């Protein structure tokens, strides 16, 4: 059974940094692209960042480019999101999601971790 | 950037009725479109991929159609558990979600 377990969400002040982790199990992690998708309170889904299976290609939404960094450790079956220069509008539940294949939709999602940015 | 526009924003229906949700892309995404369901307090769940293929374990009452810029998700007979928010997503060029359609009683 595929499982994605996010952690690292917390309360942060504007300008601070946080690192999110997503521990994956139940599939061959190194075979699949992964992504982070966020959802602000009461709002819709927003794609944040993605990384290919090997970790060599990374992609970012314009809203986070230059502030967030996605990475993965295939030896630990773990996906990361390093978030810097946090702003109030980064407040959201952050979901880790697995791609079904290259350029395919997200077939599995974690339960999310809440990041709150507030003074 | 490809923009996806979903309509209506809210759809009020009764259990047993048919629901038709729309997703329009700002440029062609061929059939590279997926639909997700999100129930309150839960993570999204993949329903439909490649515009018309049901994902694993998705009931037959869910169907998708369309290509290019216009897509439809149809729920043939609403069950109580189908009252949720539905999102379309394209993966042809980067990743984009529509703003969602809430299906309510």
Arithmetic mean of pLDDT, A94-109: 94
In this complex, is the C-beta atom of B2 within 8 Å of any C-beta atom belonging to chain A? no
- A47–B94: do the CB atoms touch at under 8 Å? yes
User: What is the pLDDT at residue A103?
Assistant: 84
Query: Could you report the per-residue pLDDT of A50-62, keeping only the tens digit for each?
Result: 999 999 999 999 9
How far is residue B43's CA from residue B38's CA, in Å, rounded to a whole number?
Answer: 6
- In angstroms, what separates the C-alpha of B100 from chain A's closest C-alpha? 6
- In angstroms, what separates the C-alpha of A48 from chain B's closest C-alpha? 9
Arithmetic mean of pLDDT, A75-91: 98
- Residue partners of B76: CB distance under 8 A and separation at least 6: B18, B61, B62, B63
B84 secondary structure, DSSP code: S
In this complex, is the C-beta atom of B14 within 8 Å of any C-beta atom belonging to chain A? no
- B49–A104: do the CB atoms touch at under 8 Å? yes
- Specify whether the CB–CB gap between B57 and A4 falls below 8 A: no
How far is residue A79's CA from residue A5's CA, in Å, rounded to a whole number?
Answer: 10
| Residue-by-residue pLDDT tens, chain B, 105 positions | 999 999 999 999 999 999 999 999 999 999 999 999 999 999 999 999 999 999 999 999 999 999 999 999 999 999 999 999 999 999 998 999 999 999 998
Whose structure tokens read 């060599």?
A: A56
Beta partners for residue A3, in sequence order:
A25
pLDDT of A102 over the 90 cut: no
In this complex, is the C-beta atom of A106 within 8 Å of any C-beta atom belonging to chain B? yes
Give B-chain residues touching A26 at CB under 8 angstroms. none
Q: In terms of Cα–Cα distance, which of B26, B45, B60 is closest to A106? A: B45
**B84 phi and psi angles, rounded to 5 deg:** -170, -175
Whole-number mean pLDDT of chain A?
A: 97
User: What is the pLDDT at residue A4?
Assistant: 98
């Amino acid at each position: 059974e595929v499982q994605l377990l996010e952690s690292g969400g917390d309360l942060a002040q504007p300008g601070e940094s946080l690192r999110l982790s997503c521990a994956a199990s139940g599939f061959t992690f190194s075979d699949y692209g992964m992504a982070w998708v966020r959802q602000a309170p009461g709002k819709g889904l927003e794609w944040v960042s993605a990384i290919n299976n090997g970790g060599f290609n990374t992609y970012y939404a314009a809203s986070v480019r230059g502030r967030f960094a996605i990475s993965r450790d295939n030896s630990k079956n773990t996906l990361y999101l390093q978030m810097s220069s946090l702003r109030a509008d980064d407040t959201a539940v952050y979901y880790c999601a697995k791609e079904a294949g290259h350029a395919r939709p997200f077939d599995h999602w974690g339960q999310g971790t809440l990041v709150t940015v507030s003074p | 950037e490809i923009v996806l526009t979903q309509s209506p924003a809210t759809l009020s229906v009764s259990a047993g009725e048919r629901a038709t949700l729309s997703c329009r892309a700002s440029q062609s995404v061929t059939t590279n479109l997926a639909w997700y369901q999100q129930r309150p307090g839960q993570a999204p769940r993949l329903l439909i991929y490649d515009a018309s293929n049901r994902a694993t374990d998705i009931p037959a009452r869910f169907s998708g159609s369309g290509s290019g810029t216009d897509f439809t998700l149809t729920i043939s007979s609403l069950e109580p558990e189908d009252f949720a928010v539905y999102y379309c997503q394209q993966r042809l060029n980067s990743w984009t979600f529509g703003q969602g359609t809430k299906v309510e009683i």
